[in-house]
Structure 1
Amino acid sequence: MKRSFGARTIAYPLPVFVVGTYDSAGKPDAMVAAWGGICSSDPPSIAVSIRPSRYTYKNLMETMEFTISIPSTSYMAQADYFGIESGEKTDKFAACGLTPVRADHVNAPYVGEFPVILECRVIKTLDLGAHPQFIGQILDVKIDESALDPEGRPDLSKINPLIFDVTRSEYYTAGRVIGKAFSAGRKYKK
């Protein structure tokens, strides 16, 4: 039997995206957004939803460019701090001892120590309610060499990204490989 939780923002897994922007004075800022994910393959695009009360929202509306830095589990505390402190009066990078790196393709910083970086330019905004959505065209993806397999492909076990559980306010990590996509279900094809 299943228990109803009603209309709530529950989905699994939720990402831990650290959204990087510059403010009008050029100060790097970043915040955590769990409401997001890939939304188009052509053009390659990602969506993030951010409350208007957030400093990053103001920065995004001014620049229309951002990065997404995906932290590994070894940076859980720093990523959490990016989600609980406002960058309006605090230099979150300095407080955590992390490096803001100017992106190559957009006017936004990324977290130099995090293994996966997406550089994005806003191509559409949607007013959906409490969290307006920014759809960013992905202009470049950077992945640390140390997070690649011997064939040069990203290795999820080496990236070791944080996963967020909204109902328990806890962080998790990805598990082991259990099967091959686009193959495991072939036994049901007729």
Structure 2
Amino acid sequence: MKKRLGPNPYIYPQPVLIVSTYGEDGTPDAMNVAYGGIVNSNRLQINIGVRHKTSDNIKVRKAFTVGIADEKNLIPADYVGIVSGHDVEDKVKKSGFHMIKSEVVDAPYVEELPITMECKVEEIKQYDQTLRIVAEIVDVIADEKVLTQDGKIDTSKLHAISYDPSTHDYLKVEGIAGKAFHDGDQLK
């Protein structure tokens, strides 16, 4: 039997995304964004509240980076999500993250995170108190430690974490369940 749970954001797995920006004065900022994902092969979307420093920065700079949080960086990744850049001046420094200036967009990225997408804003739309931001993925930076010999992401080395909106836990994302574009062939 199924039970109705009401309108909730129960998509699994839900990536833990660290969005990094520069403020108007060039100060780096980072924020844990719970709601975001891929729009198509070279675009992504993030959804963040209008009150965030990151929202202000994105509106001004029209660029940001998105790092994939991993188990090793869970504590600083959570910290940048629970502390506001409006309230804590040296938020990034306190997190322990080190910011590197992107070579292709007007934003920094977190050195410690294994994968970073560098993004240019294409569209910002406001819904109530939330911004939906669609951006072009200009380039992806990956630590060689998480790559296969032929330059693809090796998820067994990535140790990405996922957010559970029901329990507010961080979950490990690991292991292969099957082969996409192949396993369904059994039913042909």
Band of TM-score, shorter chain: over 0.9
Letter in 2 for 1:120: C
Q: Aligned equivalents of 1:92 and 1:71: distance in 2? A: 17
- Asked if residue 15 in structure 1 is aligned to residue 19 in structure 2, the reply is no
| Alignment check: 8 A CA contact 2:71 2:172 kept | yes
The Cα offsets for residues 19-77 of structure 1, whole Å up to 9 and x where unpaired, read as 00111110000101111000022xx1000011101111011111110000112111100
Q: What is the identity percentage for the equivalent residue pairs of Structure 1 and Structure 2?
A: 34
Q: Aligned equivalents of 1:4 and 1:90: distance in 2? A: 43
* TM-score of the two chains, using structure 1 as the length reference: 0.95
* TM-score of the two chains, using structure 2 as the length reference: 0.96
**Counterpart position of 1:106:** 105
Misfit runs of 4+, over 2 Å: 126-130
Gaps of 5+ in 2: none
**Counterpart position of 1:180:** 179
**Counterpart position of 2:94:** 95
Q: Aligned equivalents of 2:148 and 2:91: distance in 1? A: 32
Pairing 1:20-31 to 2, within 5 Å after superposition: 20-31=20-31
Q: What is the DSSP-based 3-state SS (H/G/I as helix, E as strand, rest coil) of the residue aligned with 1:127?
A: strand
- 1:57 pairs with one of 36, 55, 58: 55
1:93 positional shift: 2.2
105-114 or 86-95, which moves further after superposition?
86-95
The Cα offsets for residues 55-108 of structure 1, whole Å up to 9 and x where unpaired, read as 110111111100001121111001000100111233222112221111111111
Q: What is the DSSP-based 3-state SS (H/G/I as helix, E as strand, rest coil) of the residue aligned with 2:180?
A: coil
Q: Aligned equivalents of 1:124 and 1:169: distance in 2? A: 29
**What RMSD, in angstroms, separates the aligned Cα atoms of the two structures?**
1.1
Gaps of 5+ in 1: none
